[in-house]
Chain A
Amino acid sequence: MFGTTTNMPSSVFDELWQLQQEVDELFGSWSSPLGIRSPPRGSFPAINVGQTSERVDIYLFAPGIDPKSLDISIQQNLLTVSGKREIKAHAEASYYRQERFSGEFRRVISLPEDVDPDRVQARYVDGIVQIGVQRRESARPRQIEIQ
């Protein structure tokens, strides 16, 4: 937007761009109500949820955690993930930025009603916790043959 007309240093750009993103998100969600359990924007960890007719996949963007410290539970269609990421500060260093999340986190995600809480798998790859939940057979689309 300003890129071609001014000569601002890139750090200023970074800030402007972030502001622009924030405004976009604000207006993007302006008229819709928020999920009652949804956390503020930018909460740790970020979550994406994808679905097919067979399963629902939840991706938690949780880099640098010990997967053993995670507590994942599912009750009916409510998935709860809690854990901790502790970032130790270096005592003999001076910090310029500390943007990364440190501390305990907990997120609750409501999934479609037809998920099967008995068939859940989770794994941790490249800083993403992937949780796959199967959906119940009865909820899947079925082909009906004409007699």
Chain B
Amino acid sequence: MNEAEVAHMATNSEVTRRGPSATAAAQSGRVSSGETPVRPPVDIWEDKDGITLCADMPGVSKDRLELRIDGNNLIIEGQVQLELSGKAEALYADIRSSLYRRTFSLSGELETGKIEASLKDGVLTVHIPKRAELRPRKIDVAT
């Protein structure tokens, strides 16, 4: 028995239960509400200008990416689009959902109105600047 067959038997989730429709849904752009989203892995770092977040969201194109601020939260969401032929059957699946979602709560010193984001080769980069008056200032010592 090969790896793919074993994996097929082992999967107790989306793809196996719902057959190819889980991935087919991604193709046709339907968002199935019952789907458990995948949490994209992120890097988050801070420098003197603000906070930058990088998230791996492979398979998400610009028009299927959604970035929104809800109250104090930053929500990133994306829909995977795979090119499948309609009757494809899943043999093996590490990714069993066509939806990525992750939420972060922000803090008050960040300028949510000036968030910049870009998406390249499935990597989302979000930069959230700090309010100008709160950036660390270097104070020169008069001699």
A interface residues, tally (CB under 8 Å): 59
Q: Are B59 and A61 in contact (CB under 8 A)?
A: yes
- Other-chain contact of B46, A29, A94, A110, A124 (Cβ < 8 Å): A94
B interface, how many residues as a size bin? 35 or more
Chain B residues whose CB sits within 8 angstroms of the CB of A55 once the complex forms: 85
Q: Are A50 and B84 in contact (CB under 8 A)?
A: yes
Closest B residue to A13 by CB, please name it.
B103
Query: With A63-B57, A126-B81, A128-B59 known to touch, is A97 a contact of B36 (CB < 8 Å)?
Result: no
A-B contact count (CB 8 A): 167
Which of B109-117, B119-127, B134-142 lies at the interface with chain A?
A: B119-127
Q: Are B84 and A57 in contact (CB under 8 A)?
A: yes
Q: Are B105 and A9 in contact (CB under 8 A)?
A: yes
Q: Per DSSP, are chain A's interface residues mostly helix, strand or loop, or mixed?
A: mixed
Q: Are B95 and A61 in contact (CB under 8 A)?
A: yes
**Separation in Å of the A59 CB from the closest CB of chain B?**
6
Closest B residue to A34 by CB, please name it.
B6
Closest A residue to B36 by CB, please name it.
A21
Q: Are A96 and B4 in contact (CB under 8 A)?
A: no
Closest B residue to A87 by CB, please name it.
B43
Closest B residue to A129 by CB, please name it.
B58
Chain A residues whose CB sits within 8 angstroms of the CB of B3 once the complex forms: 35-38, 109-110
Chain B residues whose CB sits within 8 angstroms of the CB of A37 once the complex forms: 3
A24 within 8 A of B: yes
Give chain B's interface residues, CB within 8 Å of chain A. 2-4, 6-7, 9-13, 20, 23, 36, 39, 41-48, 52, 54, 56-61, 73, 81-85, 87-95, 102-105, 120-123
